[in-house]
Amino acid sequence: MPDPTRVNETKIVAVVNQKGGVGKTTTTINLAAAMVAEGLRVLIIDLDPQGNASTGLGIDASDRELTTYELLLDDVALGDVIQDTQTEGLCIVPATVDLSSADIELMANEKRSFLLHDALRQPLMDDYHFDYILIDCPPSLNLLTVNAMIAAHSVLVPLQSEFFALEGLSQLMLTIREVRQTANPDLRIEGVVLTMFDARNNLSQQVENDARDNLGDLVFQTKIPRNVRVSEAPSYAMPVLDYDPTSKGAIAYRDLAREVIAKNAKLAA
Ligand SMILES: Nc1ncnc2c1ncn2[C@@H]1O[C@H](COP(=O)(O)OP(=O)(O)OP(=O)(O)O)[C@@H](O)[C@H]1O
Ligand SMILES: [Mg+2]
């Protein structure tokens, strides 16, 4: 019997929201770690010049000679940019601030929107047997993010449980529709996950109600609570699952991983 949690094809998920500070990087790191805890192999692509995912997983600046920038623009082989992390089964292609100039350089490149798509489909990728690739996007709908949406099978949107949370969503949905029409017709919305949820705060509840009313089943059942352990973990260079496995944040990310895996298993069936 094949393991039903195992997806055959590597699923590529872009973690996107053009709003800053909503929990993209935190979700990328901890969802990835939680998938690994479920027995899967996961690669994170740090597609943000801020390099927060790389820092949060303890990749020293001195270990970032070959990065997402080189993967996109210098034609380096995958094997040269993929690094192991402290978490067994979790790998990363790190980023540095160099990536900020990539957005401009991409404009000059004819195949500019497909660079990440092509890079992730190098034949060597099969040798890694990744179940999931999570792409941590910058807070913008720029060419880097468009590259992620064209490379991906689906988009996962962290939504901060705060005022104005839903405001940018229509622009994001419009961009997804454009990408579908022009380059990636099969792009799915993996789901919207409420982050930094505070059950004692009416506003959080209101954002949840609005999101569920407007987006229905697209909103994951799992909500990520505001939890100090989640925000502390990156300064110890680890996912919250390793930093404090019994914290509410760690438990929520494990629930989210199970929800994503179950959704994809259902789609594959
Ligand atoms: N569940 C949580 N509980 C407490 N703090 C959180 C939680 N999720 C994220 N944070 C904190 O909120 C801040 C923003 O999170 P994060 O960096 O993941 O957002 P982002 O969307 O990636 O930001 P950017 O748009 O700058 O890339 C960070 O300081 C992070 O530690
Ligand atoms: Mg980020």
Name the residue with the closest Cα to ligand 1, atom 8: 23
Task: Give the model's pLDDT for residue 93.
Answer: 98
Residue 205 CB neighbour total at 10 angstroms: 14
Could you give the CA distance from residue 46 to residue 92 in angstroms, rounded to a whole number?
7
Which of 15, 19, 26 gets mutated to test ligand 1 (max ligand atoms within 8 A of its CB)? 26
Distance 138 CA to ligand 2 centre (A): 6
For residues 20 and 79, give the distance between their C-alpha atoms in angstroms, rounded to a whole number.
31
Show Cβ contacts of residue 128 under 8 Å, excluding neighbours closer than 6 positions: 41, 43, 78, 82, 91
Q: Which helix (H) or strand (E) holds 32?
A: helix 24-37
DSSP 10: P
- Residue 49 CB partners (closer than 8 Å, separation 6+): 95, 96, 97, 98, 99, 100, 102, 138
Q: What is the pLDDT of residue 13?
A: 98
- Taking CB atoms and a 6 Å cutoff, what residues make up the pocket around ligand 1? 20-26, 48, 50, 52, 139, 195-196, 224, 226-227, 230-231, 249
Backbone angles phi, psi at 121, to 5 degrees: -110, 20
- Report how far residue 12's alpha carbon sits from residue 42's, in angstroms, rounded to the nearest whole number: 10
Q: Which two tokens stand for residue 132?
A: 């999931």
The b/e string for 145-170 (b: 16+ C-beta within 10 A; e otherwise) is bbbbbbbbbbbbbbbbbbeebeebbe
Q: Which atom of ligand 1 is nearest to the CA of 137?
A: 27
Contact 184, 175 (CB under 8 A): no
One digit per residue, the tens of pLDDT, for the chain of length 269 reads 344 444 468 999 999 999 999 999 999 999 999 999 999 999 999 999 999 999 999 999 999 999 999 999 987 988 999 999 999 999 999 999 999 988 778 777 777 899 999 999 998 898 999 999 999 999 999 999 999 999 999 999 999 988 788 888 999 999 999 999 999 999 999 999 999 999 999 999 999 999 999 999 999 999 999 999 999 999 999 999 999 999 999 999 999 999 999 999 998 88
Indicate which atom in ligand 1 lies nearest the CA of residue 227: 3
**Which numbered ligand comes closest to the C-alpha of 52?**
2
- The predicted structure's pLDDT at residue 8: 63
Q: Classify 186 as helix, strand or coil.
A: coil
Return the best residue to mutate from 134, 145, 231 for the ligand 1 pocket (most ligand atoms within 8 A of CB): 231
- One-letter amino acid at 141 equals L
| 231 CA closest ligand 1 atom index | 31
**Residue to mutate, 25, 172, 194, ligand 1, most ligand atoms under 8 Å from C-beta:** 25
Residues 6+ positions from 101 with CB-CB distance below 8 Å: none
Q: Decide: 143 and 103 in contact? Cβ < 8 Å.
A: yes
